[in-house]
Amino acid sequence: MQALMQIDSLIKMANQIGAFFNSYTDRELACREVASHLNKFWEPRMRRMILDYNDKHRTLNNELLPLVREALKILPAPPAANMMRVAVTAQAHC
């Protein structure tokens, strides 16, 4: 139940970002800006969740705006969860 509520919040936030950049007349630029925003300001766990949602709902029941779905295609893959733990542990020992 918690994960469902969280994905609903991520969908809402992604769509708000998409709605802002949807006003751009250059669709390609708008797409890059949405992807850039998600990459810069969303933590890897959030990006993994929205990418997983989009993968599982490519054609059916996808609540993401078309611009957001386009941006997710070019969004760099976030680091794997276990790689994040290794990096944090390594930094703690420095």
Distance (Å, whole) CA 38 – CA 45: 11
Confidence of residue 91 (pLDDT cuts 50, 70, 90): low
Where helices occur in 1-94 by DSSP H, the ranges are 2-21, 27-41, 44-56, 66-74, 81-93
Q: Could you report the per-residue pLDDT of 5-29, keeping only the tens digit for each?
A: 799 999 999 999 999 999 999 999 9
- Mean pLDDT throughout 34-43? 97
Q: Please name which of 4, 83, 18 lies closest in space to residue 49, comparing C-alpha atoms.
A: 4
| CA 15 centroid distance within chain | 10
pLDDT at 87 over 60: no
Distance (Å, whole) CA 7 – CA 23: 25
Segments making up each domain of the chain, as ranges:
2-93
- Mean pLDDT throughout 22-50? 97
pLDDT given for residue 88 in this prediction:
54
Burial of 23 (0-12, 13-18, 19+ CB in 10 A): exposed
Distance (Å, whole) CA 47 – CA 71: 12
